[in-house]
């Protein structure tokens, strides 16, 4: 042992300081996890609301297409013909013919896309 060695108590931080550091690290970790979970729930809720909005807009297109088909014997490729205008986001008739149509809607805020066809109903996948 060296004559110049510091006493053991001077070399180690006090136990209270170490314990406080561990507690602080735990609190910071818990707060970070709580923030991440909250953010994930908020983003998921936004996507759900966007999907509901898109579903409602596509339902308007489907109803208008049903009326158009009854009068003209085919589905329309034009939202204007159907009297359905674009609102927030993108809305389009992807395909239309005598027997079927496919409409799609997109919300750029949440990067959510939804499609509708009479045969397939609502889907996150493009119509066949």
31-43 pLDDT, tens digit per residue, is: 454 444 443 444 4
5 part of a folded domain: no
List the domain range (segments joined by +) for residue 18: 13-123
pLDDT band at residue 62 using 50, 70 and 90 as cut-offs? very high
Give the count of domains, the chain: 1
108 part of a folded domain: yes
24 part of a folded domain: yes
66 part of a folded domain: yes
Q: Where are the beta strands (DSSP E) in 34-117?
A: 90-96, 101-107, 112-117
Q: Nearest-CA neighbor of 125 among 98, 96, 93, 102?
A: 102
Q: Nearest-CA neighbor of 84 among 107, 99, 63, 53?
A: 63
54 part of a folded domain: yes
Pairing of strands 112-117, 101-107: antiparallel
Query: Distance (Å, rounded) from C-alpha 53 to C-alpha 31?
Result: 33
pTM over 0.75: no
Q: Provide the pLDDT for residue 89.
A: 53
Query: Which phi and psi (to 5°) does residue 122 adopt?
Result: -80, 140
pLDDT at residue 87 above 60?
A: no
Q: Provide the pLDDT for residue 116.
A: 96
6 part of a folded domain: no
Mean pLDDT across the stretch 98-114?
Answer: 93
Q: Quick one: tokens of 26? A: 């735990």
């Amino acid at each position: 042992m060296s004559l110049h060695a510091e006493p053991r108590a001077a070399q180690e931080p006090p136990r209270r300081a170490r314990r406080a550091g561990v507690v602080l690290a735990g609190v910071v970790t818990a707060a970070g996890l709580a923030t991440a979970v909250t953010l994930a729930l908020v983003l998921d809720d936004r996507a759900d609301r966007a999907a509901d909005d898109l579903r409602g807009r596509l339902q308007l297109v489907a109803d208008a297409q049903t009326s158009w088909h009854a009068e003209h014997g085919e589905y329309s490729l034009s939202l204007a013909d159907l009297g359905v205008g674009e609102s927030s986001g993108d809305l389009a008739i992807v395909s239309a013919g005598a027997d079927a149509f496919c409409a799609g809607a997109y919300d750029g805020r949440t990067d959510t896309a939804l499609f509708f066809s009479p045969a397939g109903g609502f889907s996150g996948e493009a119509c066949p």
